[in-house]
Chains A and B, each alone.
Chain A
Amino acid sequence: MKRSIILLTLIAVVGCASMSAQGRRGLRLNEVMVVNDSNYVDDYGKRGAWIELFNSTFGPLEISKVFLTNDPQNPKMYPVPLGDVNTRIPKRQHILFWADGKPTYGTFHTNFTLDPNRENWIGVYDTDGLTLIDSVTVPVMESNRSFARIDDGVGAWEVRDGVSEGKHITPSSANRIKDTNGKVDMFHANDSHGFSLTIMAMAIVFTALLVLCVCFWIISRIGAKKLSDKKLKSQGVDPTSIKRAERPQGDSGEEIAAIVMALHEHLNAHDNEATILTINKVRRAYSPWSSKIYSLREIPRR
């Protein structure tokens, strides 16, 4: 009974942990445009305010039933509808919602709008309508400017005019465009001979194995002491009465094997053996599906 309770508790804890891990905590507000006169158009050919979300995780994220709102007092303002395959955001990808107050236009059109004349607070709530996943306060901006994170999903926000270098407006795409692997470029530029990486990597490899070595040296000391204590006790000697230097060393595996072999040879000794007789049926029951096994040739033995 006690064991069952412990097991159930453990399963419940693991279950809760995994449920939490599967939540939409990786969803991020990524870029917002409030006044859109000459920027991106929707499927109806109309321009309007838009909110970009970003899946910052490395797995796909289903966002149906998540709530979008511009009012902290009303967290359940716009529930993302169920049943649309496009609400599944692939890893590290973006999705765009039109804040045009026209939810009948489709899944990605919210039932609220953004006010160009004041700061707009925007929040994303989890499916319970209580847990705030992410929020941002968008300042008042001129038309056709966006408020965006500098890097997708993390860090600071900035106002982008769409003209200046690095201030591009990027609906449904990465805020910082990467055409190469930054790490590789860095090593290529700064460590063309590979010395730095070699030194760092070897230091890490040595450190990892050295830590393991020290750890097991300590464990093996404890293990050896326990074995030595056991040996002394079996000889009727109190281990605490013997100095460390005078303690007998543990037997090696080879010594133990030799002793066992000697016992076996000279005393015809045996270990205690389980006297359980098990009878297994080995002949397969006939079935037309398995009968072909009798017609297959055996693999030749060399």
Chain B
Amino acid sequence: MDFSDFIVTNLNQFWSLTGFANVTWSHVAMLLVGLFFIWLAIKKDFEPMLLVPIGFGILIGNIPFDSTAGLEIGIYEEGSVLNILYNGVSAGWYPPLIFLGIGAMTDFSALIANPKLMLVGAAAQFGIFGAYMVALALGFMPDQAGAIAIIGGADGPTAIFLTSKLAPNLLGAIAVSAYSYMALVPVIQPPIMRLFTTKKERLIKMKPARAVSQNEKIIFPIVGFLLTCFVVPSGLPLLGMLFFGNLLRECGKTTRLAKTASNALTDIVTILLGMTVGASTQASEFLTVDTLKIFALGFMAFVIASTSGVLFVKLFNLILPKSKKLNPLIGNAGVSAVPMAARISNNLGLEYDPSNYLLMHAMGPNVAGVIGSAVAAGVLLGFLA
């Protein structure tokens, strides 16, 4: 082989390894999706903490390369760096760590002061099971339908946790769908809230919540954990970490641990979770008809969940005395999406009465929604795993 042939052969070989030689339209489409997510996060301020890592993860996961070259760089190639990071998603241990952080940063006072708001959080879980029935009708198997339906819980970590157990092959689509719709909560929920409430109902002023003692705040995570996990042991990883994080926060003796759990740890896991979930959307796995169905079902699950939360409050008002009536605008907050959904209740309430602050009232169903969706995930896991 002469010198020029040698150069040409090697350059050809190098060219065959580049992204330009391996690119397909599906890669380009996914790269555009990733760029769109980053644009949404930075320019439109839609959940930037989630969408920036996911968006960039999509870019990472969709750089075209020759998968037969044995480079061991793809997220699905065992032993690659991305694959090792992805283990937290595929084995389901990132979500409980996120739940630890959520617990450590959540104030359950609103819920403790007004425990009946927990039922609103339960009612909103109809979104999950409504979507489950439609997913079955679309031809998904029960385990896949359960994984898709959990998008209606509006809780990204829960969705990832359950999907990693029930339908790992749908993980990318479900995770991206769950986080996308969580970011779009401000767009999806207000029309539903307006549609199902009258102007008179939107003006209902709720009694300010009473002050909650520290003892009650300490008892809550312990009793909450014991009761919910005795009913649904399969929710243990999520509920255990959620209530543990909350106990770290409320006991007053572990402030350092609570701070680490709610700040540094949550940030680290969010970065890794978002990036690897994004990277798991490799075009070959992601661009399928099923993905479109999952996005449609996810949207529907959000709509059903928000609707059932609002309607449940209206129904609940029928049996409540006049002085204790609830403003149905807090019903949407029963889907988790903490604290975005509660903020929407507050903003919409202020739109109709500038002195009607619903934020703290909406935080009750909002955090109940977190517990409710974790319980629902535990139930689905118990029935279908």
Interface residues of A (CB under 8 A from B): 181, 183-184, 187-188, 191-195, 197-198, 200-202, 204-217, 219-220, 223-224, 226-227, 249-256
Contact = CB atoms under 8 A, between A and B. Distances in A.
B383 A201 contact: yes
A253 B208 contact: yes
A226 B211 contact: no
A252 B372 contact: no
A203 to B, nearest CB: 9
Interface string B202-234: 000001111111011001100110011001100
B73 to A, nearest CB: 27
B145 A210 contact: no
Nearest to B373: A205
Contacts of B224: 212
Contact of A213 (B118, B129, B213): B118
Contacts of A252: 207-211
B121 interface: yes
A251 B212 CA distance: 10
A194 B126 CA distance: 12
Interface of B: 109, 111-113, 115-116, 118-119, 121-123, 125-126, 128-130, 132-133, 136-137, 141-143, 145, 207-213, 215-216, 219-220, 223-224, 227-228, 231-232, 360, 368, 371-372, 375-376, 379-380, 383-385
A137 to B, nearest CB: 35
A183 B385 contact: yes
A227 B123 CA distance: 32
Contacts of A216: 111-112, 115, 118, 216, 220, 223
Contact of A220 (B121, B125, B216): B216
Nearest to A230: B213
Contact of B132 (A184, A198, A249): A198
The list of the 10 closest CB pairs from A to B, nearest first, reads A252-B208, A194-B133, A198-B129, A216-B115, A187-B142, A209-B122, A208-B231, A209-B118, A213-B115, A213-B118
Contacts of B207: 252
Contact of A219 (B216, B368, B383): B216
Contacts of B118: 209-210, 212-213, 216
A216 B227 CA distance: 11
B129 A212 contact: no
Given A212-B118, A219-B219, A253-B211, A184 B384 contact: yes
A253 B111 CA distance: 13
Contacts of B228: 208, 212
Nearest to A192: B136
Contacts of A197: 129, 132, 142, 383
Contacts of A184: 141-143, 384
A187 B385 CA distance: 12
Contacts of A226: 213
A223 B368 contact: no
Contacts of A220: 112-113, 115, 210, 212, 216
Given A187-B142, A220-B216, A215 B223 contact: yes
Contact of A253 (B109, B122, B128, B130): B109
A165 B384 CA distance: 28
Nearest to A207: B231
Contacts of A211: 227, 231
A186 to B, nearest CB: 9
Tell me which of B115, B126, B128, B384 has the highest count of chain A C-beta atoms within 10 A of its own C-beta.
B115
A204 B234 CA distance: 13
B132 A217 contact: no
Contacts of A219: 112, 216, 219, 223
22 contacts: A183-B385, A184-B141, A184-B384, A188-B142, A193-B133, A198-B133, A201-B376, A202-B122, A202-B126, A202-B129, A206-B122, A208-B232, A209-B375, A210-B122, A215-B227, A216-B118, A216-B220, A226-B213, A252-B208, A253-B210, A254-B208, A255-B208
A244 B242 CA distance: 37
A59 to B, nearest CB: 14
Nearest to A249: B210
Contacts of B216: 216, 219-220, 223
